[in-house]
Amino acid sequence: MTGSPDIHPRPPVRILHLEDSRVDHALVKFALQRNHFACELTLVDTMDEFRAEVQSGRHEVVLADYHLPGFNGLDAFELSHELQPDLPFIILSGAIGETAAVDAMHRGVSDYLLKDSMHRLAHVIERALEISETRRAKVRADAELAESRRRLAELAEHLQTSIEQERADIAREIHDDIGGALAAVKLDLAWVARRAAEPDMQQHVATALEMLQHALGASQRIMMNLRPPILDQGLVAAVQWLASGFERRNALRVTLRRSSDQMDVPRDVQLVAYRTAQEALTNIIKHAQANAVEIDLNDGEGVLTLEVTDNGRGMDPEALRKDKSFGLLGLRERAAKVGGWLDVSSSPKGTSVILSVPLSSSGSQEEVRP
């Protein structure tokens, strides 16, 4: 049973043949015909003709003799590589020494073949074309990956901006609606307490006032975590407030060191540093089992550095590479957006989260408002 013919045969391969011997050119054509290799051969024998044909962009592969009048195959390859870096280039020579062949391959020549092995020419061309296509596919894939990463970074930035805006909106609603309502109820209960004569009524009102005060404190704390207005007083004051609140709520000793009480830091960098410290302290409570925390804040030598260190049990190195380590991933994205970077180091003696942001470059970054 005969096989069905190929419905979509491959178009002829366009070959540029650099050769000064018409006999050798005819042998090349014959060898390819014997292997049923469909091709279109264009013969040139001078460097000027070769340059013009390469510049035309019509050819898919170059076959070049090594010894040519006034130049050699490597000279032609250098020109071809300069004009079309991805064009496969095969040296086809009657006599090329081993040293010259190795030199040619090191320079990037696709392959070389001796003329007395002409029966292998079709295979060599096929292999050169496949390798070239693989390289082009890798370049395309790398470009697509870079584009995908860029778009993911833009998405992460958009999500972070949206989250900060939502936090600000929620904090404003808590302050204006819930906080206002609780304050009004507290005033009414205080009015009732002043006029209640029965001891039981006084006790119930006192209990209600106590619970109400707790709710007011909780709403204030939630509002501060969502949108810390203390950032308006500067990064040092904000980190100091964050550290003192953390120490009070969790009974952990927190030591804060800073290079100065006031730091000239752009608003977007302040927010990144504040969120980094907030996330680091949250992770300490969740995972570290520490009893002491140190926070170093420094703006020396034109670089803002924030380091949060604990004396806990450390982190498994694999935990830093988990697919769902979105907290650290988000912090790295935030740092990159303001021209900085985030490092996390861990050992059985504790963990350090270090944020570094060059202040000279951060001024050009778009401001991110909490």
Summarised one tens digit per residue, pLDDT across range 115-142 is 888 999 999 999 999 999 998 899 999 9
Residues 187-199 have pLDDT tens digits of 888 888 888 778 8
If one compares 78 and 96, the residue with the highest pLDDT of the two is 78
- Name the residue among 300, 298, 309, 306 with its Cα closest to residue 340: 306
In percent, the amount of the chain with pLDDT more than 70 equals 90
Strands 67-68 and 71-72: antiparallel
Residue 340 is predicted with a pLDDT of 93
Q: Would you list the domain boundaries of the chain?
A: 13-139, 231-370
Asked whether the predicted pLDDT for residue 367 surpasses 80, the reply is: no
Average pLDDT score over residue span 68-92: 93
39 band by pLDDT with thresholds 50, 70 and 90:
very high
Three-class SS state of 88:
coil
Task: Name the phi and psi angles at 210, rounded to 5.
Answer: -65, -45
User: Distance (Å, rounded) from C-alpha 328 to C-alpha 333?
Assistant: 9
**Least confident span in 11-20, 253-262, 322-331:** 322-331
Res. 214: pLDDT tops 90: no
**Region at 318 (left for phi over 0; alpha for psi -120 to 50; beta for the rest):** alpha
Structure tokens that stand for 16 in this block: 């540029």
- pLDDT given for residue 329 in this prediction: 76
- Cβ(87)–Cβ(128) below 8 Å: no
CA distance 123 to 107: 22
Is it the case that residue 200 has pLDDT exceeding 70? yes
Could you read off the pLDDT of 147-160 as tens digits, one per residue?
A: 888 887 777 777 76
Q: Do 13-139 and 231-370 fold alike per CATH?
A: no
Contact 279, 331 (CB under 8 A): yes
Return the pLDDT at 49.
Answer: 95
pLDDT for the residue 322: 54
Q: Is the pLDDT of residue 110 over 70?
A: yes
- Work out whether strand 13-18 and strand 61-64 pair parallel, antiparallel, or are unpaired: parallel
Q: Which two tokens stand for residue 8?
A: 């979509």
Query: Which one has a higher pLDDT value, 107 or 324?
Result: 107
**282 is written with which tokens?**
């949250």
Lowest-pLDDT choice from 205-209, 272-276, 338-342: 205-209
pLDDT of residue 1: 44
* pLDDT tops 70 at residue 370: no
- Mean pLDDT for the chain? 85
- Do the beta carbons of residue 231 and residue 370 sit within 8 Å? yes
Give the contacts of 295 (CB within 8 A, at least 6 positions apart). 239, 243, 254, 255, 256, 257, 277, 306, 307, 308, 309
More confident residue, 97 or 298: 298
Lowest mean pLDDT among 2-11, 158-167, 263-272: 2-11
CATH topology of domain 13-139: Rossmann fold (3.40.50)
Alpha helix ranges (H) inside 71-120 = 73-83, 98-107
> What integer pLDDT is reported at residue 326 of this predicted model?
55
Q: What is the CATH number of domain 231-370?
A: 3.30.565.10
Give the integer Cα–Cα distance in Å for 315 and 344. Answer: 10
Q: What is the DSSP letter of 349?
A: T
The answer to whether residue 323 scores a pLDDT higher than 60 is: no
Task: Return the higher-pLDDT residue of 265 and 157.
Answer: 265
Structure letter (DSSP) for residue 178:
I
Please give the model's pTM, rounded to 2 decimal places. 0.51
pLDDT of residue 127: 93
Per-residue confidence (pLDDT) for residue 287, from 0 to 100: 84
